[in-house]
Amino acid sequence: MRRALPTIAAIFVAVLLQVGLAPYMAIGGVTPNFLLLVVVTLALVEGPTPGAASGFAAGLLFDLLGTGPVGPMALVLAVTGYVAGLLHEQMFAEGWLLPLTVLAVASLAAELAYGLLLMLMGAGGPFWSSLLTIMLPGAVYNTALGLLVYPWLARFLRPDQQMKTFRRLA
Amino acid sequence: MKVANAEKQGPRPGVLLILVAVAIALITVWSREGETGPIHRLRAGVQAVTAPVSAAGEFVTRPVRGFFAWAGDLGVSRSQLEQLRQQNAQLRSRVAELEEARLENERLRGLIDLAQAREYEAVGARVIGKPANSWEGVVLINRGSDAGLKPGMPVVSAQGLLGQTIEVSPSSAKVRLITDQRSGVAAFVQRSRVEGVVRGSIEGNISLDFVSSETTVTVGDVVITSGMGGIYPKGIVIGEIAKVDTGENALYQRIEVTPASNLAGIEEVLVLVGAPEAQAPVGSTRGE
C-alpha cells in the first residue's frame, strides 16, 4: 500500500497533465503522452507485473479521455508496461542510456500498436500517413520529454532507492 | 541505474493475460453497447470531471501561447505586410459587394415570402479544451446538455463549418472537427453544384472526395454543405478548394480544401441546436 500511493499519485498527475497541459504542448499536431511516460518509468522501477497493472489503468484512463474506442490503449500500455519491466531486468547497461532506450522503443512500439489496433477497428488512418505524422514524431517527442521527466519521476516513485545515476540527471 | 530486483515483483504472465483479456472485453462491450451503455456513461462522467481541468489548462497556458503567437508575428516581413494590406483592401471591397448582394437577397426573399425558411436556434460556446492525444481532432466546449446540446448538432464559427457535437455531458461537449479522420460531410461546390464528401485525415487536412474526374472543379471554388445526410443544414461554408489533381484514368479527382475556419485557433463557436439529431453512432460519422 505504501508503494501504491506514489503510483496512484503519479498516474493521477499524468492524467491532469494529459488533459490540461499536453494539448498546448502539441508540436505539429503531435501531443506528448504523459501516461506512457509514467507507465514506462513505473515498469522500470517496479518491474513487469506492476508495470502491466499500471499500464492497464493508465491506458484505460487515456481511452476514456478521448473519443475513440475504449480498451485499445489499456491493452497496449498493459503490454508495454510488462515488456518494459522485463526488458529492464534482462539488460545490464548502466546510466541514462538504458531508460532512454527502453522509453524510445516502448514509445514507438506503443504508438505503432495503438495505431494498428485503431486501423483494425476502422478508426485509424492510413498506415504510412499515421506512421509519419503521428507515430514517429510522437515517439521522438515522448523520448525527449522522458529525458526530463524520468529521473524526477523515478526518484519520486522509489525514494528509498539509491540511484546514483539520477544525481547526474536530476 | 538498476534497482535491486529483490524488491521488484517478478514477471507474472498470468496477470498480463488477464489484463489483455479484460481490455479485449472492454473493446467488445464498447463497440456493441449503445450511447447509454455503461462505458459510454463512464466516459461522459470522466468528461464532466476533467472538463474543468481542460478549462484551467486553457486559461493557464493562454499567456504563453500569446507570447509564442506574438513572437511568431515578429517574423512577418515588410513584403508580407504589404501583401496583407493589399489583401485587406481587396477583401474590404469584396465585403462591400457582398453586403450589397445580401441586402438585395433579403429584399428578394421578402418578395417571394421565404420568411418560413428554416432558421436554427444557436447556442454560443467557448472552446475550453484541445485534443488530449494526437489521434483525434476534437475540441471541448463549455456548453452541454444543460444548454440543450445533444450529440450530432452542427457547430459553426463566424467563418464557416467546424464540425459536430459527439459526446455531451451536462456542462460540456466534445466537438469532432471536420479535419478529424473520422469526419465526413456531404458537400458540393458552390459554383458548379458538383457534389462530394468532405473528409478529414490523420494529417488534419480536408479533401473533397468522390468528385468525378469528368466534372470541372477549379482552385478557389467555395465548398458548402449540401444538406444531405440530415446533420448539417445546407449552405454552410466549409472552405475553398486549394488544389485539384486529376490523375490519368482516375475515376475521382483528388481535391484539397482549405477550411474556411481557422480550426487551430478557434475560441468561440455556435452550436446549431435546432438542427436534426445524428442517427449514426458516435465514432462512425464518415459520410454523415
Q: Chain B interface, mutation test: which of A11, A12, A16, A19, most B Cβ atoms within 10 Å?
A: A19
Distance between B269 CA and the closest CA of chain A, angstroms: 19
Q: What gap in Å lies between CA B272 and CA B123, rounded to an integer?
A: 7
Best of B5, B7, B16, B42 to disrupt the A interface (most A CBs within 10 Å) is B16
Nearest to B203 among A50, A124, A133 (CB): A133
pLDDT digits (tens, 9 = 90+) for A137-170: 999 999 999 888 888 888 887 776 655 444 444 4
Closest CA to A150 of A100, A95, A76: A100
All three cell numbers of B61, joined, read 497556458
- Per-residue pLDDT at B27 exceeds 50: yes
Which residues does chain A have within 8 Å of residue B46's beta carbon, measured at their own beta carbons?
A: 61, 64-65
A110 touches chain B (CB under 8 A): no
**Average per-residue pLDDT in chain B?**
81
Residues B149 and B165: beta-carbon distance below 8 Å? yes
Distance from the Cα of A142 to chain B's closest Cα (Å) equals 12
DSSP strands (E only) in chain B: 122-129, 138-141, 154-156, 161-169, 172-177, 184-189, 195-199, 206-209, 222-225, 237-245, 254-259, 268-272
CATH topology of domain A4-169: Arp2/3 complex 21 kDa subunit ARPC3 (1.10.1760)
Three-state DSSP class for residue B48: helix
CB contact under 8 A, A48 and B1: no
* Chain B residue numbers touching A29 (CB-CB < 8 A): 134, 203-204
Q: Tell me the three cell numbers of residue A46.
A: 517496479
pTM above 0.90, yes or no: no
Q: From the list A19, A69, A163, which residue is nearest B132 (CB)?
A: A19
- What Å distances lie between residue B78 and B27, B39, B86, B87, B197, CA to CA? 55, 55, 12, 14, 40
Rg (CA), chain A: 15
For residues B251 and A36, the model is more confident at A36
**How many other β-carbons are positioned within 10 Å of the β-carbon of residue B171?**
18
Which class for A78: exposed (0-12), middle (13-18), buried (19 or more C-beta within 10 A)? buried
A85 to chain B: which residues are within 8 Å by CB?
8, 11
* Per-residue pLDDT tens over the stretch B105-150: 765 554 444 334 446 778 888 899 888 888 888 999 999 999 999 9
Cβ-contact B143, B123 below 8 angstroms: yes
pLDDT per residue as tens digits for the range B54-68? 888 888 887 777 777
Sorted by where each begins, the domain ranges of chain B are 121-288
Select from B1, B12, B133 the Cβ nearest to the Cβ of A95. Answer: B1
CATH level 3 topology of B121-288 = Thrombin, subunit H (2.40.10)
Q: Which H or E run includes B75?
A: none
Domain map (residue ranges) of chain A? 4-169
Output the CA angle B141-B277-B196, nearest 5 degrees. 90
B139-192: per-residue pLDDT in tens?
999 999 999 999 999 998 877 899 999 989 889 999 999 999 889 999 999 888
Counting one residue from chain A and one from chain B, the pairs whose CB atoms sit within 8 A come to: 184
Cβ distance B15 to A67 less than 8 Å, yes or no, reads no
CA atoms within 13 A on the CB side of B73: 8
Of B10, B132, B283, the CB nearest to A18: B132
Taking 90 as the threshold, does the pLDDT of residue A114 lie above it? Answer: yes
Distances (CA, A) of B129 to A155, B86, B145: 31, 35, 17
> Is the CB of A151 inside 8 Å of chain B's CB atoms?
no
B167 lies within 8 A of chain A by CB: yes
What is the C-alpha to C-alpha distance for residues A61 and A39, in angstroms, rounded to an integer?
12
The mean predicted confidence, pLDDT, of chain A is: 85
Pick among A67, A82, A101, A118 to test the B interface (most B CBs inside 10 A)? A67
Beta carbons of B223 and B241 less than 8 angstroms apart: yes
Question: What would the mean pLDDT of B245-249 be, rounded to a whole number?
Answer: 81
Nearest to B42 among A64, A86, A130 (CB): A64
ipTM value, please give it: 0.86
